[in-house]
Amino acid sequence: MAARARAMKAEGIDVISMSLGEPDFDTPVSIRRAAQEAIEHHWSHYGPITGIPELRKAIAVQQNTIQSNAISWSAEDVIVSVGAKMAIYNAIQTLINPGDEVIIPMPSWVSYSEMVKLADGIVVPVETQFEDHYCLTPEQLRAALSSKTRMLILCSPNNPTGSVYSKTQMEALVEVLRDWPEVVVLSDEIYNRISYESTEYRVQSTDQITHTSPTMACFTELADRLIIVNGVSKAYAMTGYRVGWLLCKNTEFIHACIRLQGQQITCATMVAQKAAEAALRGDQKCVEQMRQVFAERKELICRLAAEIPGFKFKEPQGAFYLFPDVSAIGTGDEVAERLLEQAHVAVVSGSAFGCPSCIRLSYAISTTEIEEAMRRIKAVLTGERIE
């Protein structure tokens, strides 16, 4: 949809794209300057496969800061990759053998299932319910587990639903997993700093208050079988820098993952790593400012979406997506096509995420664009004329 929107724009058509999952903000000035300084100071050579030591330490410090009474992380538990996407891919390639089952709550981010297939694993999709805010329940998890289950993938805050697992919900899932010690949990927390029902914490180095969603790292019983994935793309508006990471206490897994990454990429770009280090160690006001803007946009899009007949949705608790059920109007594919062709608004069909009755609208765009896009959508779906 994003590609089609770009093609239509190139033809001079006024298309508003709500299809992309990236912040529309510029990368903060201090981070850009750190990248420029890295170039001037000749950070232009090969680096360690696992990432530069200063960045790995900063990642461990931040993860420890946003937890309480939980797993303790060190730099040795961290591997820096080319974006969180590669960290997830490498974790799956390292752990999943042909025939291994991976439980994925649906709807889910489009790449999880494809990555499992690339490892010759078997995807076990679990259809979550609207009433549960599309969160996996312990009953559903218990029913999906089998002797072949090797991994559970969780994403909170979630793409595409915007749902956030509470600590109580996570605890209920962990209780089920106690009977399945061979099952690894991959927790994708790339949106954890964009949370609206979040926990405040104080950044030790700057004494600033910021927010985060609950983390699976709060459960020490998972210490030897938990992989946390995160990165700088969403929180710091650094999608193009391509720096992400994973954390894991299991040294056997870490060493295997290092061997894989060493044959694959050598290392993440050094300049980008220095920029990421500056992001984690620097002033965190930029993160909170962006979160507050997203929160304001969330209120706006929910208010406007509530006025559109046939839209059924839960208010997002995190990330920057609205995921309305449009089955009263048509399938997600049909509605997405109709909105692009008639309203010139690009959205993504829920079929891409395993939920064909929904569409995903990204509100990582300006309030002016949100207002205009929702006006057009309402007009098309109610048969009004678009001026």
Q: Indicate which CATH number applies to the domain containing 166.
A: 3.40.640.10
Section 185-200 average pLDDT: 86
pLDDT at site 133 = 96
Specify the pLDDT at position 141.
Answer: 98
pLDDT bracket for residue 298 (50, 70, 90): very high
**CATH number of 363's domain:** 3.90.1150.10
Q: Percent helix, strand and coil across the chain, each rounded to 5?
A: 45, 15, 40
The helix/strand/coil state of 180 is coil
Looking at the DSSP assignment, which residues form a beta bridge with residue 80?
245
- CB of 150 within 8 A of CB of 96? yes
- Specify whether 239 is located in the same domain as 256: yes
Give the residue-averaged pLDDT of 309-338.
Answer: 97
How confident is the model at residue 340, as a pLDDT?
A: 96
Coil, helix or strand at residue 240: helix
Across 207-223, average pLDDT: 83
Q: What are the Cα distances from residue 43, in Å, to 82, 240, 273?
A: 16, 18, 9
What DSSP string describes 62-108? HHHHT-SSS----GGGEEEESHHHHHHHHHHHHHPPTT-EEEEEES-
Q: Which residues pair with residue 155 across a beta bridge?
A: 188
Query: Which residue range forms the structural domain that includes residue 296?
Result: 2-21+286-381
The yes-or-no verdict on residue 234 having pLDDT over 80 is yes
**Residues 278 and 293 grouped into a single domain:** no
Residues 343, 328: Cα–Cα separation, whole Å: 19
From 282, 307, 333, give the residue that closes a domain.
Answer: 282
For residues 229 and 359, membership in a common domain is answered with no
115 & 198 share domain: yes
Are 257 and 340 found together in one domain?
Answer: no
> Do 81 and 227 reside in the same domain of the chain?
yes
Percent over 70 (pLDDT), the chain: 96
Rounded Cα distance, 184 and 134, in Å:
21
Helical (H) or strand (E) element with 158: none
Q: State the DSSP H helix or E strand holding residue 322, giving kind and residue range, or none if neither.
A: strand 321-322
Rounded alpha-carbon distances, angstroms, from residue 146 to 39, 92, 95, 274, 289? 51, 18, 17, 43, 44
Report yes or no on 337 lying in a domain. Answer: yes
Task: Give the pLDDT mean for 265-287.
Answer: 96
CA-CA-CA-CA torsion for 89, 93, 96, 99, nearest 10 degrees? 100
Mean pLDDT, rounded, for 317-330: 97
Regarding whether 139 and 259 lie in a shared domain, the answer is: yes
pLDDT at site 203 = 47
Measured CA to CA, the distance from residue 387 to residue 384 in angstroms comes to: 9
Out of 264, 282, 300, pick the residue that ends a domain: 282
In a domain, 387, yes or no: no
pTM of the model: 0.94
- Tokens at residue 23, please? 């912040």
Tell me the mean pLDDT in the region 181-190.
98
Residue 57 forms part of a structural domain: yes
Q: Which residues contact 60 (CB under 8 A, 6 or more apart)?
A: 73, 74, 75, 77, 78, 247
- Say what the pLDDT of residue 104 is: 98
DSSP code for 325:
B
| 6 pLDDT tier (thresholds 50, 70, 90) | confident
386 lies in some domain: no
Same domain, yes or no: 134 and 278: yes
Say yes or no: 189 and 140 in one domain. yes
- Start-end of H helices in the chain: 2-10, 29-40, 53-65, 83-95, 110-118, 138-144, 167-177, 251-264, 270-281, 285-305, 332-338, 367-381
